[in-house]
Amino acid sequence: MNINSSKSSNEIKLSELKEGQTGRIVRVGGQGVLRRRLLEMGLIKGTQVYVEKYAPLKDPIELIVKGYHVSLRVEEAAKVILEKIRQELTDGSEAN
């Protein structure tokens, strides 16, 4: 059975979000020390994550989690699965 077959069409890796987008954590992957570190930084199921910016070479990513700034390598961010949250722009239109 393919693990990705149960993946919702709305789910995306944290590393795939663009600057200014927000998502809610569905699950945190990884193993051992990496997984524990992600959880200790507040990246737990149900938490909202905002992508503040990418570094000039696109690695690392600066996030806002629970009101504080966190930087993650793109490789680490790929272990976190989110559901995208629609955001409303200031002109009233919706962003994806």
Residue with tokens 């976190």: 80
**Total structural domains in the chain?**
1
Residue 1 lies in a domain: no
Q: Is the pLDDT of residue 1 over 50?
A: no
Q: Which residue has the higher pLDDT, 44 or 93?
A: 44
Rounded average pLDDT over 56-85: 93
Residue 96 lies in a domain: no
- For 56, the 3-state DSSP assignment is coil
Residues 77-83, mean pLDDT to the nearest whole number: 95
The pTM (predicted TM-score) of the whole model is: 0.77
Q: Has residue 94 been placed in a domain?
A: no
Q: Name residue, tokens 């966190």.
A: 70
19 lies in some domain: yes
Residue 8: predicted pLDDT: 60
Q: Is the dihedral of CA 84, 78, 50, 91 positive or negative?
A: negative
Q: Domain span at residue 77?
A: 7-89
Q: Which helix (H) or strand (E) holds 13?
A: strand 11-13
**CATH number reported for the structural domain that contains residue 15 in this entry:** 2.30.30.90
Please name the helix (run of DSSP H) or strand (run of DSSP E) that holds residue 87, with its range, or none: strand 87-88
95 lies in some domain:
no
